[in-house]
Structures are given as structure tokens and as C-alpha cells.
Amino acid sequence: MKTVTTQTIRNKKKNNEIITMLTAYDYPTAAILDEAGIDIILVGDSLGMVILGYENTTEVTIEDMLHHVKAVSRGSKHSLIVADLPFLTYHTGKYEAVRNAGRLVQEGKANAVKLEGGTEVIKQTKAIINAGIPVMGHIGLTPQSINQLGGYYIQGKSEEKAKKLLEDAMALEEAGAFAIVLECIPTELARLITEKVEIPTIGIGAGSDCDGQVLVTNDILNLYSNMVPKFVKQYANLQDEIMKATSNYIRDVEQKAFPSKEHVFHIKQDVIDSIYG
């Protein structure tokens, strides 16, 4: 398997190849995704909700991210690792944005960072790219703005809002972003944006005309019961599997069916006899 770079991702669009991306937050999951051949592993700030039990992503800190980005980097050999810049780590200006993006690369060993927003974050996007760090954009539903959006709703349905999203995508391309996540927007708008920009679009709840697709791994595995969006397809039900395994373990332990002879260690009986005295 070849190592995936941001150049590989750009070239996939040129060659009409589909880009695959999933999230991971820990070593074993990253190792499995990598071995399965996923192009991009995203250490998303969805971490806060699906792993850490926060109410929304605004609670996630740069330290939270670093802790998990490090684990994912250790697990992945080939996939491109993109780490989310969490809430308030890039909004206050270029300096902080570069500093925090730099930490995700230097300490976390991420290959690129992702930040939410369009024209509002162009200044920071350019500064991070100037520091040699590739940037993935993210527009449409931007969960770090949940308090402004009022809920996880579809974005870009009116003409004005659709135009703004196209403008955002073009501004991100112009700023030098290597790809853009389109989250929860009408499929027709995602198609239009995908045709208008040369960099790849990676959709989540944005239909099949994007250049790639991303989902939250815990959602496709049913390992986060609080909220399953309409755009998620579930490929496994790990919640049921873990529930079954746990119940079986409890039953076995209580009934002394576990451990059985294949799980135990022995010493010579005379050693035990001499201790009993």
C-alpha cells in the first residue's frame, strides 16, 4: 500500500477516483482503518461527542485533540491523517491558528488540519498553509457554531445561503485548501460546488456527486446511541455486540463458567502443600 499524501488526494479528483475518509480517535481503530485501505483518517472534534461524552464539540480543547491525534498517528502507516482544529483555537487570529495547527503536526504527527468556515477563516487558512501545513476546509453544517445554528439542520437551502456556500468553497480553493468537507447540504448544491472547484469535495450528508465521502466511524458501527443522523448508513451494530459480550461475561463469571481450565496457570502441588504447612 502506498502512503497517501495531500497530492494523492488532489490527483484522485483529476483521475476521477473516489476519496474515502472515516474518523478515528484511537490506536486500534486507526490501525484497522489504515489496513483496510482508507485514504484519509480524520481525527475529528466529533471526538468530544462520540468518545468523551461532551454535549457538543465546543467543549473540545487542543489538549483533547493532541491526546487522540498522537494515538491515531501511532496506528496508521499509509492513510493521510487530518486533525480538526477545535473551537476557539483558530478564531482569535492568525498567530494562534498557526501555533495550534503546528502543535497538531509537531506533537500529534498529523499530516494536515481541518477547520470550519468559509470566507471568515481565509486569513487563518492562508497563514497555516504558509507555515507548510495543508488545510482541509469544512463548510455547510459546522457543528462548532451549534449555538448560532440552533441545531444540526441542513444548510444552504435558500438562494442566498447556497450562493454563500459556493463563495466559501471558491474562497477556500483560492486560499490554497487541498480539499473541502461539505456537511449536510442539498445534493444539488454539493454537485454544483464540486463542479465549480478544482479541489476535491468530501461529502457528509451531501449526496453522491462529491469527490469523496466521510462519516463518523462510531456512527457506521452504531457505537454512539445519542444521535444517528439521516445521512448515516450503519455497517455494523457494535452496541449490540458489546452488550451481548458483556452480558455473557457477567453470566459466566457469576455462574463460575469462567475462567475454565484453559485460562488458568499452575504450580507444583508440593509447593502449595509446603505453604499450607
Q: Is 140 in the site for Na ion (CB under 5 A)?
A: no
Question: What b/e string do you get for 243-257 counting C-beta neighbours within 10 Å, with b at 16 or more?
Answer: eeeeeeeeeeeeeee
* Long-range Cβ contacts of 148-152 (<8 Å, 24+ apart): 152/184, 152/227, 152/229
Binding site for ligand KIV (CB under 6 A): 23, 42, 44-46, 84, 138, 181, 183, 204, 214, 216
CB of 239 to ligand KIV, least distance (A): 19
Q: Is 158 annotated as contributing to ligand binding?
A: no
- When CB distances are held under 5 to 8 angstroms depending on the partner's kind, the choice from Na ion, ligand KIV, none that residue 210 binds is none
Q: How far apart are CA 72 and CA 59, in angstroms?
A: 21
Span 70-109, contacts to Na ion by CB under 5 A: 84
Q: Compute, in degrees rounded to 10, the torsion defined by CA atoms 267, 270, 271, 272.
A: 80
Q: How far apart are CA 114 and CA 243, in angstroms?
A: 34
Name which of 83 and 223 has its Cβ closer to Na ion: 83
Closest residue to ligand KIV, based on beta-carbon distance: 44
Q: Is 46 annotated as contributing to ligand binding?
A: yes
CB of 57 to Na ion, least distance (A): 6
Q: Is 79 annotated as contributing to ligand binding?
A: no
CB of 15 to Na ion, least distance (A): 27
CB of 205 to ligand KIV, least distance (A): 9
- When CB distances are held under 5 to 8 angstroms depending on the partner's kind, the choice from ligand KIV, Na ion, none that residue 190 binds is none
For residue 202, the tally of other CB atoms under 10 A from its CB is 29
Instruction: Give the residue numbers marked as catalytic.
Output: 183
CA 126 to chain CA centroid, Å, is 22
> Which residues are known binding-site members?
45-46, 84, 114, 116
